[in-house]
Structures are given as structure tokens and as C-alpha cells.
Amino acid sequence: MSETPDVPAAAPARHFCTYFDSNYLLKGLALYRSLRRHSPGATLHVLALDDRALRTLRQLALPDLVAVPLADLEQAVPELLTAKANRSTMEYYFTCTSPFVRWLRERTAPGEPLTYVDADLWFFAPPEPLFDELRGASVTIIGHRFAPDQQHLEIHGVYNVGWISFADDADARACLLWWSERCLEWCYDRIEGNHFADQKYLDDWPTRFRGVRVITNPGANVAPWNVATQPIARRGATLVAGETPLVFFHFAAFKRLTPWLFEPSLANYDVRLTPALRDEVYLPYIAECRAIERWLRETAPGFGRGWGSLRRPGWLGVAQRLVRGQLLLAP
């Protein structure tokens, strides 16, 4: 009797969450599209941080995207309104991270991990290797992995809030409760003692809580602050960071200066734009955002800029960074 060949099991449907306002709409939808490509069936829960973002997401009615009004979270966590009165808009957004994930953890994906991702991530490959690392853990976090000459930046946090995954267990809930309470107490965009925004609270999680695991995959959370030690290259059909397949890139502080000039924020870390980084990472990302922008103008008129306001650059600084290879021209 012939044996039935083994068929690889399909990856389970994953649950992700993020938040953004109308100024981050293109980046948030680029994240969504990349997850659709590389994690089919995944659900993305989005906390819509302003009415324009909420109206646009509801009008689009995208499959596997659940738009959550900010008012719903504020009603469920009234302490947020107290914090809102004494924080800047960005600080308030940071404050919302942990209460949103905690609120959602109690309402979705029973038995499955819930993963918070920043809206400016873009996936180049399936995230399943990261979930393999999560297996048996309650919480997984990821380091900044700063380049050696940037180690002083750990003052802002050893770990990055860009990816945090919480299992459905008591240890994950204890961690979420503590993080949420601390952020409601203090969450400001400045370094003060052992605090910085919602991020530096993660520094001692591996010793403070049980079941915390740090992701070791070098292809995850490649960003301007570490790409110098994990250079992007093409190896046949595979895009790699160093010698590891690139899973996702973090487009932190990525800005549009003019319709054809972009700031990758590489200058902040004394990094130059290599041909591979430009052609394989930044230009495809810009193309995705521009395609979304064209689609929104046809589908959801009045969605806003989506990129945020155009920056008025100082042209002397622009010329200097262009010469150094730290700005991106994309006509």
C-alpha cells in the first residue's frame, strides 16, 4: 500500500494590531498589503487615531482589517482621557499602545498570539520564523540591535516597540497590565531617569516577567539604526540582510520632503544609501505608497494627504545629504 506523502500544514491565521492617524494612512495600508502578501488570512486590527482615518477605513471595508474607533478605547479605559489632557499628540499616541493591546488581547484570538506591529513596518517575507521563536513563550520582543557606533542610543531603549507579541496566557496578561499602568502614569517623548515614552519600560522585561523571549532572527526589524551591520543584498531570488532573509524593514522616521524627494533618516545614524538598499527596499516601498495614494484618490476622495504634511527642507542641508547619499530621489 502506498504511503500518503506529508503535506505541510498551512500556517495558522495570525492576529496583528497597530494604530495610525490620517497622516500615517499610506504607511498603515502599505503594512496591511504586505501582510496580505506574506501572511495570508492574517487579521489586522487598527486603532484609528482620528476621524478621517476611521471614515476612510470604514469606507474601504478591506478584508481582514478591523477598524477600531479611538472613542471605543477611551470609553473602555477612561484613564486615557486624564493622560490626554497633559500630553502632546504624539505622546498620547504612545500612551495608547499598551492599553489598546491589553484591551484587544481580552477580546480577540483566544488561544492565539496577538502581535503589535508599528504602522511603518513592511514585510518582505512571511513572519512565520518569528512565530516559531514565540512557541512556548508568553511574550516576544525584539532588540534595536544598534550598530556598534550607535550603542549610546540604547538610552532610548534596548528593545524596540515595533514588534511585540503576546500569547494568550496569564504571564502575558500580567506583563500587559503592568505596561499599561506604567504608560498611563508616565509616557512622554523625553528621557527622564529610566523612562522614555512607552519603549524603555521594556528594558527589564526578560527579568521582570516570566516567559519573555527576545527574537534572534537578524532579518526582523532591520532599520536605519542597524542596517549598516546587516547590509541589504540580493542573493538570487532572496533578499537578505547580512546573510539572513529579510523578514521586515522598519521605515522609522521616513518622510516625504517634496513629491520626488524623500528622507530615509539614514543621516541620523551616519548611514549611506547603498544601491541595494535604495533599489530593493526604499523604492519598492515608495512605489507601494504611491499606488495606494492613487487608489485612495479614486476610491475614498477626501482621505487627506496620507503622507503627512510636506516638509519644507533647508536646501543647503538637502544638497549636503544628497552628496553623502543619505536622501532619496524618486521622480
Q: Hey, what's the cell of 57?
A: 477605513
Question: 216 Cβ partners below 8 Å, 6+ apart?
Answer: 133
- The domains found in the chain, sorted by start residue, are 15-254 (3.90.550.10)
> How far apart, in whole angstroms, are the C-alpha atoms of residue 49 and residue 147?
33
pLDDT at 306 (0 to 100) = 64
* Amino acid (one-letter) located at 315: W
Mean pLDDT of 24-42: 97
Q: Hey, what's the cell of 26?
A: 499610506
Residues found in the chain = 331
Q: Is the pLDDT of residue 20 over 60?
A: yes
> How far apart, in whole angstroms, are the C-alpha atoms of residue 299 and residue 58?
12
Number of H helices, E strands in the chain: 11, 17
Query: Strand pairing partners for 122?
Result: 249
Question: 75 Cβ partners below 8 Å, 6+ apart?
Answer: none
Q: Hey, what's the cell of 169?
A: 496566557
> How far apart, in whole angstroms, are the C-alpha atoms of residue 28 and residue 18?
8
Q: How far apart are the first and last CA of the chain?
A: 63
pLDDT digits (tens, 9 = 90+) for 172-200: 999 999 999 999 999 999 999 999 999 99
pLDDT at 312 (0 to 100) = 62
Q: Of 49, 39, 50, which Cα lies nearest the Cα of 14?
A: 39
> How far apart, in whole angstroms, are the C-alpha atoms of residue 60 and residue 126?
25
Q: Hey, what's the cell of 250?
A: 522598519
What is the DSSP track for 4-58? PPP-PPPPPPPEEEEEE-GGGHHHHHHHHHHHHHHSTT-EEEEEE-SHHHHHHHH
Query: Strand pairing partners for 60?
Result: none
Name all contacts of 285-291 with Cβ < 8 Å and 24+ positions apart. 285/30, 285/122, 285/249, 285/251, 285/254, 286/262, 286/328, 286/330, 288/30, 288/33, 288/34, 288/122, 289/26, 289/27, 289/30
pLDDT digits (tens, 9 = 90+) for 46-80: 999 999 999 999 999 999 999 999 999 999 999 99
pLDDT digits (tens, 9 = 90+) for 210-263: 999 999 999 999 999 999 999 999 999 999 999 999 999 999 999 998 888 999
Q: Which of 16-20, 25-29, 159-163, 317-321 has the lowest mean pLDDT?
A: 317-321
Question: 229 Cβ partners below 8 Å, 6+ apart?
Answer: 145, 147, 148, 242
> How far apart, in whole angstroms, are the C-alpha atoms of residue 297 and residue 306?
11
> How far apart, in whole angstroms, are the C-alpha atoms of residue 265 and residue 275?
16
Identify the band that residue 321 occupies on the pLDDT scale cut at 50, 70 and 90.
confident
Q: Which of 85-99, 229-243, 272-286, 308-322 has the lowest mean pLDDT?
A: 308-322
Identify the band that residue 9 occupies on the pLDDT scale cut at 50, 70 and 90.
low
What is the DSSP track for 155-185? GG-SEEEEEEEE-SSHHHHHHHHHHHHHHHH
Identify the band that residue 3 occupies on the pLDDT scale cut at 50, 70 and 90.
very low
> How far apart, in whole angstroms, are the C-alpha atoms of residue 161 and residue 179?
12
- The vertex-44 CA angle with 306 and 180, nearest 5°, equals 95
Q: Of 326, 232, 230, which Cα lies nearest the Cα of 270?
A: 326
Q: Is the pLDDT of residue 319 over 90?
A: no
